[in-house]
Chain A
Amino acid sequence: MLGAVLLGLLFSFFLVFAGSYFKGRLAVLSSLVPISLFVYFLTYIPDIAQGEIIYENYEWIPSFGVNLSFTLDGLALLFALMITGVGSLVFLYTSAYLKNHKYLDRFYGYLSLFMAAMLGLVLSDNLMSLFIFWELTSISSFYLIGFNNDKADSRKSALIALGITGIGGLLLLGGAVLLGDVAGTYRISEMLAMRDVISDSPHYLLILLLIFGAAFTKSAQFPFHFWLPGAMKAPTPVSTYLHSATMVKAGVYLLFRMSPVLSGGDIWHTILIAVGAITMVYSAIHIIFRTDLKGILAYSTISALGILVFLIGIGTQAALIAAAVFIVVHALYKASLFLITGIIDHETGTRDVTQLSGLRKVLMPVAIAGFIAALISGGVPPTLGFIGKDLIYESTLHYADSAILLTGLAIITKILLFYGGFVAGVKPFMGKLPEKFSKLHLPSPLMWVPPLIMTLAGIVFGVFPGLIESAFAKPIAMTQAINYEEFHLKLWHGFTTILGLSAITITAGTVLYFTIKPKHSLENFIAKFDVVAPKDLLIKLSEGFALFSRFWTNSFQTGYLRHYLSIIVGFLTLLLGYLIFSDFSLNIDVSTLADLTIYEISILIMLLLGVLYVVFTKSRLAAVAATGVVGLSFSLLFLFYSAPDLAMTQFSVDTLTVILFVLVLYKLPKYLKLSDSKLRIKHRILSISFGTLITLLILRVLNEPKNTEISEYYADYAYKLAHGKNIVNVILVDFRGIDTMIEISVLIVAALGVFGLLKLRLKTRDKK
């Protein structure tokens, strides 16, 4: 399974080098990647249908419990097949849709990276690796949404999408860490046994909110839904892939996956049902006000996601099965509708539904696909959509609390979705063909065959629901439902209440389709409410935040070295002052200290003279030389206290420092007094108090009991383990060698920084 996840990553890496070969006719070959993965996952169906769960584990960072553990059960298989199946068709479609595009190879690179991330996400059994793949989907979708990066609004939508899903990623990390802490493991399959422990934990609510935050941002639930319509700026294949089968379903997947672990408390159900219901109704109503085909599809996608969250919130076995089936239904019809919209856009150059009509005369196969897709979306028998809709009604009708209200909301949503599906899938093909479109011809089969395949699959699954039942519905119900009961998916249930509700839905939807026509006036009407829409509020918030950070930066980043120094030193003084004076005790037993020798006294005098000279001299070079004296006196002190290594290093470092200072200061103008006396007094007070505090701190160290354990360890083992007699050196190159490694890397970074900064400046000066 690791190979399956990595294949997409490797392919995108491969495209970096061999991309130019995949731009022309060979582009279609890229689809072999998702197709082979699709076939690979198909072979697992018999095993999964038997109720098997396949685990694979690769150690990654075992000390943190972070491993690449993959699991393949019904739920993972459903998503994996959707990702690779829809992916295959999207790959094929793209080769015609973006034919001869300058950056087609780049596009395939992003697409296969995204596919790999999605596969990793749905196959992960470890919450941490799930999080990593989750972030990867956010990042790769950023590139996909912003693919037309020469357009400003495309870049902006990509940023908004990244921002929103990025926040979700952070929340997920928080939730994962907290959950891992409570459960004692990051493995989801092990958490299943901890259901009660988790729901009794004091952190339960917080965990829920964090996980919900992640899922709601990713799956575009109210009030985070606005990034999704914006993301429609992407090329159509991207919208198809991201919004029908993958990206936005990731949040739904997370909720689905975690539901047996987290659904222990009532609050799980309450929040999910409420948010799901608001989202599905709110965005279903929005469909009426849209005239852009992609806008209609975007809002119907959000609404469908709302239905899924709502169903997972209900959480009974019937609801979970309904959700699983509806995921398939939605992927099939939404992907087809997006692809059809892409064809229309590609051929006519417009997506405005008020201008499109009669296209069936020129695009017949597309019209057939559109019609079937609308039937699936509307839940008309004998499509799978019908079964999906029935399952939804069944689960709401049998929910213990407020069944009538929930069913009512579901019906309203389904009626509006019916309307949306027909406007997007049927309306452009009906009526009279305008003159300007009469010369259109059918595009390459690579474009119109994929939607036909998907819609036909929708009918096949509808007529033979056993396929879905054994491959996905049963395995999913077995692993995700709390108490599993035997069930069967059927197209025909006999004359029941649910059949009546279905009939009402279809009739009302048809009436709505024939009475309300998409109009621009409606779209303008809804635009008036944008001021209070979550999107605008968020943009204002981020603008305010940018203003605040500008103010903050400007007040601290003045560009004056003295300002930085006084802030750093002042802050340290406050911190140290608090630390020392909150618990101050100085009792040094002078009698235990060694006597001062004449050598030490002379070095001290030298030190003091050096320091005083630095402070009072008027010449920079003399000040530098005096700091050199201070440094050399220190190395003498080190020598007296038998630290020859330290003394040597201090000596050489000091020499080089003085040379550096001289080099820098040599060319500066004469010494000038730039600061006024007030500032100088302020700086003096700061320096003196900082110096005093450091002195006190060092004296405090003498009070602490001596801990010789570490130095004894090194003394004992330096020769035994590391064959060295110089302990300092052994520590540097052996015991703490990795530290040294990092230190020399830092040194290199510093040198490169100096080199880069100064050479860059030299070059610009040379130009003048």
Chain B
Amino acid sequence: MRTIILKSASSYLLPVLLLFSVFILLRGHYLPGGGFVGGLVAAIAFVLDAFSNGLDKTKSVLKFHPGFLMPLGLLIAFFSGISPIIFTDMPLMTGLWAENPIPVIGYIGSALFFDLGVYLVVIGASLTIIFTISESA
């Protein structure tokens, strides 16, 4: 499937799709989107890149094994979950929110970090599965 069209398109598609996945992640709290879908879109972006440029190329773009994103994401989600216990006396998973919105991103709260964790785990898990299978096939 290494056609010229796909190949030249993918070099633009990868950053655009990644940006789009972050956009989906950030808007999730108010509009359709969120960490899970965002993660899937990012994973698709990499898979598309791997299809057009070859798996090794994509791996070298990534610099590290996508599997490392899984524990990282789980840790972020976990710490955002227990942050209310650490910073305040509120129970597990209570949402903490900043007073003022940040330009572009909007209101920042522990839920956003939780979603970020989900985002990373989804990318890590789906890429690990797909890369492993395509290597062994």
Q: Which A residues are within 8 Å of any B CB, using their own CB?
A: 644-645, 648-649, 652-653, 655-656, 659-660, 663-664, 666-667, 721-726, 728-730, 732-734, 737-738, 740-741, 744-745, 747-748, 750-752, 754-755, 758-759, 761-762
Any chain A CB within 8 A of the CB of B3?
A: no
Q: A667 to B133, alpha carbons, bound, how many Å?
A: 11
Contact A741 B77 (CB under 8 A): yes
Contact of B125 among A652, A721, A748 (CB under 8 A): A748
Q: A354 to B29, alpha carbons, bound, how many Å?
A: 84
Contact of A738 among B73, B92, B130, B132 (CB under 8 A): B92
Contact B137 A663 (CB under 8 A): yes
Question: What's the nearest-Cβ distance from chain A to residue B3, in Å?
Answer: 17
Contact of B129 among A649, A737, A741, A750 (CB under 8 A): A750
Q: A740 to B124, alpha carbons, bound, how many Å?
A: 16
Q: A722 to B94, alpha carbons, bound, how many Å?
A: 9
Q: A721 to B47, alpha carbons, bound, how many Å?
A: 38
Q: Mark B122-137, 1 if CB is under 8 A from A, else 0.
A: 1011101110111111
Any chain A CB within 8 A of the CB of B111?
A: yes
Question: What's the nearest-Cβ distance from chain B to residue A665, in Å?
Answer: 9
Q: A323 to B37, alpha carbons, bound, how many Å?
A: 69
Q: A745 to B115, alpha carbons, bound, how many Å?
A: 14
Question: What's the nearest-Cβ distance from chain B to residue A407, in Å?
Answer: 63
Q: A744 to B136, alpha carbons, bound, how many Å?
A: 25
* Contacts known (A656-B130, A667-B137, A755-B67); A729 close to B34, Cβ less than 8 A: yes
Contact of A751 among B29, B70, B117 (CB under 8 A): B70
Contact A758 B95 (CB under 8 A): no
Contact B118 A724 (CB under 8 A): no
- Interface size range on B against A: 35 or more
A733-B34, A747-B70, A747-B122 known, 13 other contacts, Cβ within 8 Å: A660-B133, A663-B130, A724-B111, A726-B32, A730-B111, A733-B115, A734-B93, A737-B93, A737-B111, A741-B77, A751-B125, A752-B70, A755-B129
* Contacts known (A659-B47, A751-B70, A751-B124); A649 close to B92, Cβ less than 8 A: no
Closest partner residue, chain B, to A667 (CB atom): B137
* Contacts known (A733-B111, A759-B132); A652 close to B41, Cβ less than 8 A: yes
Residues of B within 8 A of A734 (CB): 93, 95, 111, 114
Q: A744 to B130, alpha carbons, bound, how many Å?
A: 17
Residues of A within 8 A of B92 (CB): 738
Question: What's the nearest-Cβ distance from chain A to residue B72, in Å?
Answer: 11
Contact A729 B28 (CB under 8 A): yes
Interface-central residue, A660, A750, A751, by most chain B CB under 10 Å: A751
Residues of B within 8 A of A653 (CB): 40
Give chain B's interface secondary structure class: helix
Q: A653 to B122, alpha carbons, bound, how many Å?
A: 11
Q: A115 to B63, alpha carbons, bound, how many Å?
A: 51
Residues of B within 8 A of A644 (CB): 32
Q: A656 to B130, alpha carbons, bound, how many Å?
A: 9
Q: A732 to B122, alpha carbons, bound, how many Å?
A: 14
Contact B29 A645 (CB under 8 A): no
Q: A655 to B41, alpha carbons, bound, how many Å?
A: 10
Any chain A CB within 8 A of the CB of B18?
A: no
Residues of A within 8 A of B41 (CB): 652
Question: What's the nearest-Cβ distance from chain A to residue B105, in Å?
Answer: 14
Residues of A within 8 A of B23 (CB): none
Residues of B within 8 A of A721 (CB): 95
Closest partner residue, chain A, to B40 (CB atom): A652
Query: Closest 4 A-B residue pairs measured CB to CB?
Result: A652-B40, A644-B32, A751-B125, A744-B121
Residues of B within 8 A of A664 (CB): 133, 137
Q: A738 to B93, alpha carbons, bound, how many Å?
A: 8
Question: What's the nearest-Cβ distance from chain B to residue A76, in Å?
Answer: 35
Closest partner residue, chain B, to A754 (CB atom): B129
Q: A656 to B42, alpha carbons, bound, how many Å?
A: 11
Contact A750 B125 (CB under 8 A): yes
Q: A666 to B137, alpha carbons, bound, how many Å?
A: 8
Q: A751 to B65, alpha carbons, bound, how many Å?
A: 13
Between-chain CB contacts (< 8 Å), 12 pairs: A649-B36, A656-B130, A663-B133, A663-B137, A664-B133, A723-B29, A729-B29, A733-B28, A740-B77, A747-B122, A750-B125, A759-B132
Contact A656 B34 (CB under 8 A): no
Question: What's the nearest-Cβ distance from chain B to residue A745, in Å?
Answer: 7
Q: Which chain B residues numbered 1 to 59 have a C-beta less than 8 Å away from chain A?
A: 24, 28-37, 40-41, 43-44, 47
Contact B36 A656 (CB under 8 A): no
Contact of B114 among A649, A667, A733 (CB under 8 A): A733
Contact of A728 among B34, B121, B125 (CB under 8 A): B34
Closest partner residue, chain A, to B31 (CB atom): A726
Residues of B within 8 A of A648 (CB): 24, 32-33, 37
* Contacts known (A649-B36, A744-B74); A733 close to B125, Cβ less than 8 A: no
Q: Mark B103-124, 1 if CB is under 8 A from A, else 0.
A: 0000101010011011001101
Question: What's the nearest-Cβ distance from chain B to residue A640, in Å?
Answer: 14
Q: A101 to B125, alpha carbons, bound, how many Å?
A: 46
Residues of A within 8 A of B129 (CB): 660, 750-751, 754-755
Q: A747 to B128, alpha carbons, bound, how many Å?
A: 11
Q: A667 to B134, alpha carbons, bound, how many Å?
A: 10
Residues of B within 8 A of A747 (CB): 70, 121-122, 125
Q: A355 to B92, alpha carbons, bound, how many Å?
A: 69
Q: A738 to B109, alpha carbons, bound, how many Å?
A: 17
Residues of B within 8 A of A667 (CB): 137
Question: What's the nearest-Cβ distance from chain A to residue B115, in Å?
Answer: 5
Residues of A within 8 A of B30 (CB): 724-726
Q: A648 to B33, alpha carbons, bound, how many Å?
A: 8
